[in-house]
Structure 1
Amino acid sequence: MKSINTKIGENLKKIRKSRGLTIDSLALNSGVSKSMISEIERGLRNPSISILWDIANALKTPLNYFLKEDNLCSPTIYKMGDHSSIDGDGYSFHTLMNFDEDKKFEIYFNEYMPNSQTETSFHYDGVEEYVLITSGSLNVHIDSEKFTIKEGEVIHFVADKPHYYCNETGNVAKAFILMFYSDSM
């Protein structure tokens, strides 16, 4: 099994080349230095989520594409722990299904600790988020609007505007998030 740094580097190089980009042009578009991109591609660097986020947005590629495994045979059972997890300050994102280039989506299972908030983020044009709350309630802030979503409810929105998730309760909130990437990728 490949190390995560090797996998990220190989996938980054593959998509960069498939888009006909040089390291210089990717560095210019992403704000990440040429040396950092080169070291990531060679598996020498363990990039932060912020750096991968900047590169993914410049490439108009889902973040999980960097963690994508080689093609899998059907049928496939997906379970938590099979793929990567991202831990933030009071929240965690568990990848259930990595980005599938043919189907244009990926699925996460997220947990938000009491009184926690994610960082503000936004995606490129054509990205949609579907959020199904399975436990507790969660506030979704999109631009200047706040939406409270409760257990059993789904919110769907175009995710190219600044947004973040906030659990303002004393209980853990859990949600499945489906990220859909339109054909405009």
Structure 2
Amino acid sequence: MDYLAHNIAINLGRIRKAKGMSLDVVAEQTGVSKSMLATIEDLTQAPSKDAYLVDVANLAPTKDVPGEYRVWTCFPIADNHIVEIYRIDIEPGGTYWSGGHGERTKEYLFVLAGALSIELAGGKSYDVAAGQSFRFSCEEAHTYRNLGDAMLKFTTFFVVHFVALPPLRGG
């Protein structure tokens, strides 16, 4: 890696972390995709561990709006460039709006407690209860709502689906 690219990668990660910003926030503010930002930062990180325990109780929230919601990044896209895992809690009556997560990205969510109402692009809504799972294409903005009277807790996975390219033919 050349000197300039190396310095950009180091500075991008340092500045983002110093400001307490997630890759989501930086991507929204810069217009650069999360996967590209993760790739740039990953160039300077040590190899990942084979096993890693995450306890949400010991994590600082990635996003925290009192009386509305809290989001924790359990495993960032920078870990493997394929999947990103979040834990989200939404207060009764609370709403959390999410931007799209990039082309060919699917979201898989698992409701742990409470009841989730999710509104996708085009206004189509789905209700997902505790113990249920839901999958959808998350290329466009979507909204999570807690219409119940108890805390809504769910885990969500964003998976980038790569398109297999045909092998190159020799000439």
Equivalent position SS for 1:118 = strand
> Gaps (5+ residues) in structure 1?
1-9, 16-37
Question: Does the CA-based 8 Å contact 1:86-1:94 persist in structure 2?
Answer: yes
1:62-141 to 2 correspondences below 5 Å: 62=35, 65=38, 70-80=46-56, 81-82=58-59, 85-88=62-65, 90-100=68-78, 102=80, 104-141=82-119
Q: Which residue in 2 is equivalent to 1:25?
A: none
Shift of 1:181: 1.6
TM-score, scaled to structure 1: 0.66
Letter matched to residue 78 of structure 1: V
**In 2: Cα distance, 1:183 partner to 1:55 partner:** 25
Tell me the C-alpha RMSD between the 2 structures: 3.5
> Gaps (5+ residues) in structure 2?
164-171
Shift of 1:95: 1.6
Q: Which residue in 2 is equivalent to 1:59?
A: 32
Equivalent position SS for 1:54 = helix
TM-score, scaled to structure 2: 0.70
Question: Does the CA-based 8 Å contact 2:35-2:81 persist in structure 1?
Answer: no
Deviation by residue 1:118-165 (Cα, 9 ceiling, x = unmatched):
124222211111110000101000011010000011110110122110
Identical amino acids, percent of aligned pairs: 13
Question: Does the CA-based 8 Å contact 2:108-2:135 persist in structure 1?
Answer: yes
Equivalent position SS for 2:49 = coil
**In 2: Cα distance, 1:46 partner to 1:82 partner:** 16
1:26-37 to 2 correspondences below 5 Å: none
**In 1: Cα distance, 2:94 partner to 2:75 partner:** 25
Q: Which residue in 1 is equivalent to 2:169?
A: none
**In 2: Cα distance, 1:85 partner to 1:11 partner:** 26
